[in-house]
Amino acid sequence: MAEVRISNLSKAFGETVAVDDVTMSVPNGAFVTLLGPTGAGKTSILRLIAGLEKPDQGDVVIGGRSVVNETPAQRNVAMVFQQYSLYPHLSVRDNLAFPLKSPLLKTPTVEIERKVAEVAEVLRISHKLNNKATALSGGEMQRVSIGRALVRDPSIYLMDEPLSSLDAKLRSDLRIELKRVQANLGATLLYVTHDQIEAMTMATHVGVLDHGKLVQFGPPREIYESPVNLYVAGRLGQPRINVLPADMFAGAPTGAKTIGLRPENISQGEGKSSKVKRVEHLGDQIRLHLKLDGHDIITLSESRDTFEPGDMVAIQPRNPLFFDASGARIA
């Protein structure tokens, strides 16, 4: 495992700028998540680090060594692709053993057997080892492709939305599994996702990308609690942060254009009176859809009292975030 640093990395595909002057570092043993919508440049950054693409400018440094002119093989990175990129004509066992059979490694057969068995155990696919790669369910295929990365001892694991094609149950199981494996191995892992829950629950650091630019980088809590701008504030949190005109409530600092209120940052009982439009009972929480001066607001009910559509609730902000006209946060 090694520290991976990228500096001033840029890459354009024709007219589209996929990665725009990104500088960041993945500390040794860290679980870093890149978060952003489709087209934000997440996958491109992974491919640049892996060596599947050449950067237009900038540098990739793995373990203190610039690798920008090296092939993927020389860089010694492991990658899990978004599609199940299994070798369809090979068995699960041979798929897992494939990276170990590289002539560069000269791994003894016994050692290969042992590692494959070990990884299969961790990912709970031991009983499928003799199956053909194509005779698996989607979840199993993705576990095999994660396993193919785990059998190796690379500088860094790169994962490109490995869980996005799985069903919800399997996704949450594998999320925990992956975090556990990473912690046990002390692995350096760069993980790309558009799912904020994956980003929040697994990562030690989160990088938020917007149109190829790295907007904010830090621990997940920091990103959630003090986003640098409206875009980052909107990426995290479910239900999404409420964005309202700053003058709606008293106390806005000068220059503030909008006020950002996370659902839990709205206190009920005092303040402005708003109308309940819809009530959602989610079991562990009750969501209230409110209407105030023509703006929609979503918040969580603070009491177990049942509201009915049409009821009036008084609300006021608690620890709000303020943003200026450009969207940058000012308080």
Partner 1 sequence: MSDTPIDRVAKATPPSVASKIRGLSDRTIAWLFVAPSIFLLLAVNIFPLIWTINLSFTNYKANRPNREVDFIGLRNYERILTDSDIWLTMQATAHFLFWTIFLQVLIGFALAWLINRKFKGNDLWTTLIVLPMMLSPAVVGNFWTFLYQPQIGLFNYAVSFLTGIDPSSFEMIGDVALAPWAIVIVDTWMWTPFVMLICLAGLRSIPDYIYEAAEIDRASKWRQFWTITVPMVLPFLMLAVLFRGIENFKMFDLVVQLTGGGPGSITELTSINLKREAFEKWRTGYASAYAIILFVTVFGLASIYVKALNKVKER
DSSP string, 132-199: BTTSS-HHHHHHHHHHHHHTS--SEEEEESTTTTS-HHHHHHHHHHHHHHHHHHT--EEEEES-HHHH
Query: Residue 209 in contact with residue 38, Cβ under 8 Å?
Result: no
Q: What is the nearest approach in angstroms of partner 1 to the Cβ of residue 98?
A: 6
Residue nearer to partner 1 on the CB measure, 5 or 148? 148
Q: How far is CA 295 from CA 22, 147, 264, 265, in A?
A: 36, 48, 17, 17
d(CA 293, CA 102): 66
Q: What is the nearest approach in angstroms of partner 1 to the Cβ of residue 89?
A: 5
Query: Residue 27 in contact with residue 49, Cβ under 8 Å?
Result: no
d(CA 158, CA 115): 20
Q: What is the nearest approach in angstroms of partner 1 to the Cβ of residue 71?
A: 7
Residue nearer to partner 1 on the CB measure, 104 or 168? 104
Q: Count CA atoms within 13 Å of residue 158 on its CB side.
A: 23
Judged by the rule CB under 8 A, the positions of this chain that interact with partner 1 are 50-52, 71-73, 76-79, 81, 83, 85, 87-89, 98-99, 102-105, 132, 145, 148, 152
3-state secondary structure of 124: coil
Q: What is the nearest approach in angstroms of partner 1 to the Cβ of residue 289?
A: 41
Residue nearer to partner 1 on the CB measure, 38 or 254? 38
239, 254, 248: which is closest to 316 by C-alpha? 248
Residue nearer to partner 1 on the CB measure, 105 or 129? 105
Query: Using CA of residue 267, residue 269, residue 275, residue 281, what is the dihedral sign?
Result: positive
Residue nearer to partner 1 on the CB measure, 67 or 256? 67
Q: How far is CA 35 from CA 39, 63, 197, 208, 212, in A?
A: 11, 24, 10, 5, 11
Residue nearer to partner 1 on the CB measure, 150 or 321? 150
Q: What is the nearest approach in angstroms of partner 1 to the Cβ of residue 327?
A: 36
Q: What is the nearest approach in angstroms of partner 1 to the Cβ of residue 153?
A: 12
Q: What is the nearest approach in angstroms of partner 1 to the Cβ of residue 79?
A: 5
CA 291 from chain center: how many Å?
32
Q: Indicate the residue type of 202.
A: M
Residue nearer to partner 1 on the CB measure, 156 or 209? 156
Residue nearer to partner 1 on the CB measure, 98 or 307? 98
Residue nearer to partner 1 on the CB measure, 32 or 79? 79
Q: What is the nearest approach in angstroms of partner 1 to the Cβ of residue 253?
A: 49
Query: Residue 61 in contact with residue 5, Cβ under 8 Å?
Result: yes
Q: What is the nearest approach in angstroms of partner 1 to the Cβ of residue 141?
A: 12
Burial of 290 (0-12, 13-18, 19+ CB in 10 A): buried
| Residue that is written with structure tokens 């492709």 in the block | 145
